[in-house]
Structure 1
Amino acid sequence: MRRPTAALTTTTLALAAMAVTACSAAAPSREGLPAGAETTALTGKLHATAKEAFVRPNGKPVRLNGPNLQPIWDANSSGTWNQATYNAIKAKGFTGVRMVLFWDDFEPRKGAWNEKAFTTLSTALARAKSAGLYVVLDCVHLYGKPEGQSRVPAWARKADGMGAVAANGLRFLQQLASRYGKNPALAAYDPVNEPYRWPVNHKSVLADYTKIVNAIRAKDAKTTIVLEPTYGDAKVPVSAFASFKPAKRTNLVWSIHDYYVGNAGAGYDRNGIGTSPNASDGKTGYRPADKANLAKHLNVQLAMARSVKLPVWIGEFGIGARAAGHDQFIKDKVALYKSKGIGYSWWEYHDGSGAFSMINANGTWKPWATWVR
């Protein structure tokens, strides 16, 4: 589902984030870090099973939850969140972060890699690992125009964002896999955020995912790979998976972005797209009387995923700070996810407009962040 572009990376976000980081550096979270948390050893790669999205080598599942977070503020700067930020996320009780990346930061010209961006990402991964947090890399965050390609390099654009990644983005995904695949903190690659395709064509999206998965697997045979439906929570028929034919069909996760507020039954239109307006616009509110419909919406995805033997993880959910029913929305969504035994990631830790931010301007947590946990 499309969020307002104001909620994504801008110069304003970079400046605001720098201010928050400076504050955090001077006065880290007031909540004490659990003993040993800063040196938590993330040993061995997580993997996925048909029922569990993230599992330790000893077979015990990890409920991966935490915020979405943008580690690169400026492609030509090393500015990023400091260690205290990741320690505070861990201290709050979260287990991971989903790092939002923009392709044009890394490959502004075809085959020309911006090493500054990779160095900053390496720093972010190291800090997350030091804090004991797992990381999901949101590798190509599609949004905006044309057709999701606002941050797709101009040289790489195609008819839509998913097509651009499948045709021109495989080298970038392989760069990430080659550089970070062995890092035990890397829980998964989420190669394409909300793949655009209109008119809706789930078979062609999954055929493109075949190319993407095979490309990553050529460089990294183990790390879990996340698959998403068109526009974040589209209803995908099981039959569409006939076009998904990767060489290895292991360590895969189905992930949706769940901004549905329960205002329309199961919440899908005649094209199978999640109904809007929804909470992704930062304004649409929630009525607790619609609580039962939240489960109906999610159950559509869970039933499909079971049929194709994929576990489910919620890559994004959220609601605007001033939207009606804000607090109860969070409580009801989190209770639903926990009742289903699935992890989730809030959109987002800090954003330029402040509509979804979990933290105040001075770096302290907003009171409701505890409910996200």
Structure 2
Amino acid sequence: MVPSANKVVNGTPRITDGGLPPCTMLHVDGTRIVNPAGETVILKGAGIGGFLNMENFITGFAGHEHEHRAQLASVLGQKKAEYFFDRLIHHFFTDADAAYFASLGLNCIRLPFNYRHFIDDMSPNVLKPGGFALLDRCVDICARHNIYVVLDLHAVPGGQNQDWHCDSGAARAQFWDFKDHQDRVVQLWEALARRYGRNPVIAGYNPLNEPADPTMTDNGFYGARLVRFCARIEKAIRAIDPDHMLFIDGNTYAMDFRAFTESPLLPNTVYACHDYNKMGFPTGQQYEGTKSQREYLRSSFERKVKFMRENNVPIWNGEFGPVYDDERRVGSAAAAETNAKRFALLKEQLSIYAETGVSWSIWLYKDIGYQGMVYVDPETPYMKLIQPFVTRKQELGLDFWGVVDKSGVEGVYGPFISGLKTMVPEVYHSVKYPKVWSFDRHVERVVRECLMSEYVGWEMAELFRGKTEEELEVLASSFAMENCKQRDELSAILREDAISR
């Protein structure tokens, strides 16, 4: 049973003080995204991760979202735990956030959501109305500020990739192994198409975030089942909603489109890459702006979008962005020096995208201090409560995204992984998909970021024991815009690029 979709939700957007033009239905025209008048629209914005799909480094927990929710329910009780998460979601994105977003000239929000808001695994035939209400609220807010929304299914039954952010609880992408999982996703997208089919605020549908399908095509490319599923989901959506664009991520975390060369192009479809660069992360080589580094940035991006260039279709970079240093950890001077390099990297990436009118969505809008355009004030009750736990996670190297230095646990994992390697002939060390991960990374993903994170997650849950609803409301409201700090230089860079569109 699908919740009623007969009513027209989220009506015509109104012009506001943000100055953005009203949203209109968009479609693909060759290499461009255009409005009904045929004018080019370049989508520039951010993803609201940590909102309807929570991620550990964004809000501070360890491991997977469903484990975090279960752990808090175990110490608070189900009712109070649900109250806390509902209030956190409420405060995470409001009209104040949208107004700030629009004030920068940004015109599109990528809205990641978890299937668990819509599908109960024990009763999968009945779609839960609560999930649709959450989406409606966010789309309504964006409509009031003339901000387009890309609906992004970020976590699906079984997990569409091997990583923690698809909330499967495993290190295997089981979505590709079970037709029933795929059927549930088709059912959900059909319901979403019925609900939003006539809504001009919706720029389009992003059916699967960062798929990683290990099956091979006849020509030896990973992604055979992904290509077939994309063809299936396109037909299912278009049978209900023939107008909205699709945003199709490439395989292996939106970086590989070779499997798509063996299938016809999908109509009215934008193909989406993700363009993270290691020089923007705490470990490894840092960006110094050298000629070779600039050339590397360009060649790396062009490799990811070769398919789009050759087929004359629009490009959307659905995720990119550096991780910024924290002056509380390293001191203000050291953080400023590091972050200057990260901002320079970001500006160089934006200049590359601007050359050919690439649409983009930076990762991330809001968090507790790693990547966000805005971040929760360290002096808020929530941050004061969880900061010791966040520090412990960093020391234990549990969150890949938030780990700055894992030398403190190298004495444990170094010998352990070295010993494991001796058990497997070296010729097999690099056979496991995705091959972009080393043997070490595959082990760390399972042991540190899944297993150990689940164990340590109970420590965070204990911080909430005995909290009243009034106290939980105060903690959740720490995520409200008025309780957040703005990363001013990042916002200035994005504003400058946005007004140049």
Question: 1:345 is matched with which residue?
Answer: 361
Match of 1:68 in 2: 47
- Contact kept? 1:187, 1:223, Cα under 8 Å: yes
Task: Confirm or deny: 8 A CA contact 2:25 2:203 kept in the other structure.
Answer: yes
TM-score, scaled to structure 1: 0.75
RMSD of aligned residue pairs (Cα, Å): 3.0
Q: Secondary structure at the match of 1:214?
A: helix
> What SS class does the counterpart of residue 291 from structure 1 fall into?
helix
Q: Name the aligned partner's letter for residue 296 of structure 1.
A: S
Equivalent residue, structure 2, for 1:267:
none
Q: Superposed, which structure 2 residues align to 1:237-276 within 5 Å? A: 237=258, 240-244=260-264, 249-261=266-278
In 2, Cα distance between equivalents of 1:118 and 1:102: 12
Map 1:200-349 onto structure 2 (within 5 A): 201-237=222-258, 240-244=260-264, 249-261=266-278, 279=280, 283=283, 285-289=286-290, 290-322=293-325, 325-349=341-365
1:119-162 per-position Cα deviation (integer Å, ceiling 9, x unaligned)? 121010010011010011112346979734765679xx995345
Please tell me the residue identity of whatever aligns with 1:160: Q
SS in 2 for 1:192: coil
Q: 1:87 aligns with which of 89, 99, 119?
A: 99
Cα drift, residue 228 of structure 1: 1.0
Which residue type is aligned with residue 217 of structure 1? R
Q: Distance in 2 between matches of 1:216 and 1:144?
A: 21
Q: Contact 2:323 / 2:371 at 8 angstroms: preserved in 1?
A: yes
Distance in 2, matches of 1:369 and 1:43, equals 23
Query: Which of 195, 214, 225 pairs up with 1:179?
Result: 195
1:17-56 equivalence runs, <5 A? 36-37=16-17, 42-52=22-32, 54-56=33-35
Report how many residues are paired. 314
Aligned match of 2:369: 354
Distance 1:153-1:96 versus aligned 2 partners, 3 A rule:
same
Aligned equivalents of 1:215, 1:86: Cα separation in 2: 32
Please report how far the alpha carbon of residue 177 of structure 1 lies from its aligned counterpart in structure 2 after TM superposition: 1.0
Contact 1:317–1:345 at 8 Å: present in 2 too? yes
Of residues 109-118 and 37-46 in structure 1, the stretch that sits farther from structure 2 once superposed is 37-46
Separation in 1, partners of 2:484, 2:492: 15
SS at match of 1:218: helix
SS at match of 2:240: coil
TM value normalised by structure 2: 0.57
1:77 aligned partner: 86
Q: What is the CA distance between 1:283 and its match in structure 2?
A: 4.7
Where does the alignment leave 5 or more consecutive residues of structure 2 unmatched?
1-14, 55-81, 216-220, 326-337, 378-482, 496-501
What residue is the counterpart of 2:140 in the other structure?
126
* Counterpart AA for 1:366: R
Structure of larger gyration radius: 2
Mapped to 2, the partners of 1:211 and 1:152 lie a distance apart of 24
Secondary structure class of the residue paired with 1:232: helix
Q: Quote the Cα distance in structure 1 between the aligned partners of 2:165 and 2:304.
A: 28
Inter-partner Cα distance in structure 2 for 1:149 and 1:320: 18
Q: What does the per-residue CA deviation read over 1:142-196, in whole Å, with 9 as the maximum and x for residues that have no partner?
A: 6979734765679xx9953455653431001111111112111000111100102
Q: Give the number of the structure whose residues are more often helix, by fraction.
A: 2
| Alpha-carbon separation, structure 1, partners of 2:356 and 2:176 | 30
Q: What is the percent sequence identity of the aligned residues?
A: 21
Structure 1 distance, partners of 2:213, 2:119, is 23
Taking the aligned partners of 2:237 and 2:322, their CA distance within structure 1 comes to: 33
Find the counterpart in structure 1 of residue 492 from structure 2.
370
